[in-house]
Amino acid sequence: MIQQALNTRCIPPLFPTWDRNKTLDMFQRLEYGYVPCKPLSVTSHEGDTEDCFGGMARYRKVNIHCRLAEADYPGITLAPQLGDTFVFDIDCYIPSIEKEQRVPAVIACNDREAFDFGTCPADFLCAQGFAVFNLRYRKIANDPVNPNGLTQFEQRGIDHFYYGNHLTALDKRSRAPHAPGVLALWAWGFSRVADYVTTLDFVDKTHIIGAGHSRIGKAVLLAGALDNRFACVYPNASCAGGVSLSRGCGKETLGSLVGLYPNSDLWFCDNAWQFAHKNYVDEAGEPFDQHALLACVAPRKVYVGNADNDEYCEAASEYLACAAANEVYQQAGGKGFIHPNRFPHTGDTFHEGDIGYHLRAGHHAFNRDDWALFATFYTSKMKEVKACS
């Protein structure tokens, strides 16, 4: 049934021509824009540590300083008052652990300015043994679709260092066609937090997880595809431009999303405008879809969460993308996506393979139920690794 559905949607197989590096280049060139270069250096300034969650964890705020090369960030010349160092802060929640103990780390990007324990329940995750590093996406670049007039971020976002201005202030089509959109800038932010996390003695560097919901789910999928330090990527309800296939989708597609909201094209690079007018093919006329980006995470873990009444995200399109990425995982020697040969029913969880999936009751949200299902999936994978070592 599933293969028939993929055939009906004309979803292109990934083998025998699969090339991960070419695929990543294609997605950056045609859809997201090229993620900016790594900084010359990344340093941190840690605030005071205090107990939280009744002594179950410790909290501290950390400022991350990224010194940028002028050759890679032309905005440094265009806006010299910025200097060459981009600074943003993150919230860190560290579970109480024994000396010498190492714990997995969740890098979560929150979709609100006030820390939201629904979107990222740090208390629950710390109780499960995860350290949590919360990145607020507006500290990297403001959202062009919902800017909220947050002037401090418009003036100091990484888009200013790259473009010399906030993206929404640029003249339309003034950027290079493959220059980064905001999703690529947010993906850059995930990797900069990973730069910090990998310096911490209490973090198990083999278990760094990136997570995000909706538009941030799109960004974390790109970050995880590009950055091998992420052992698992969790894009929850990432919709079009994330996990969801565009071919045959009855809701949002990449083509519709480019012009759906004011400035939604700025999430992507200008090359993405072509998909508003034609099917999904690269410059050579070869078809592609989002399953190819998901496959770039192989052989590492991916977890996909959906809700049955999501008004934005078509669960069938995300589920099919998982199935279509399966062949790359199997070629990499992994378990791939283990599922019944049918579409998911509400309440289904498929946790046996390297690609995990659940379909819960509810709407477009990221809540504790989603996180609890993810924690069950990932802790079982950690046990598998330990059992084999």
Report, as residue numbers or ranges, the catalytic residues: 214, 364
DSSP letter for each residue of 171-184: PTT-S-TTS--HHH
Closest CA to 173 of 241, 260, 269, 257: 269
Please return the burial class of 344, using the count of CB atoms within 10 Å of its CB with bins 0-12, 13-18 and 19+. Answer: buried
Q: Please provide residue 270's backbone torsions phi and psi, each rounded to the nearest 5 degrees.
A: -65, -25
Closest CA to 293 of 312, 310, 306, 280: 280
Q: Are 244 and 318 in contact (CB under 8 A)?
A: yes
List C-alpha distances in Å: 89 to 38, 64, 276, 386: 18, 6, 36, 34
CA distance 93 to 133: 6
CA distance 335 to 326: 8
- Match 């519709």 to its residue by tokens: 256
Closest CA to 28 of 16, 37, 17: 37
CA distance 56 to 294: 35
CA distance 208 to 102: 12
DSSP lists the bridge partners of residue 87 as 65
- Indicate the SS3 state at residue 90: strand
Sequence-separated (6 or more) residues with CB below 8 Å from residue 380:
351
CA distance 28 to 35: 7
Report residue 126 as tokens.
Answer: 């710390």
Sign of CA dihedral 57, 58, 63, 68: negative
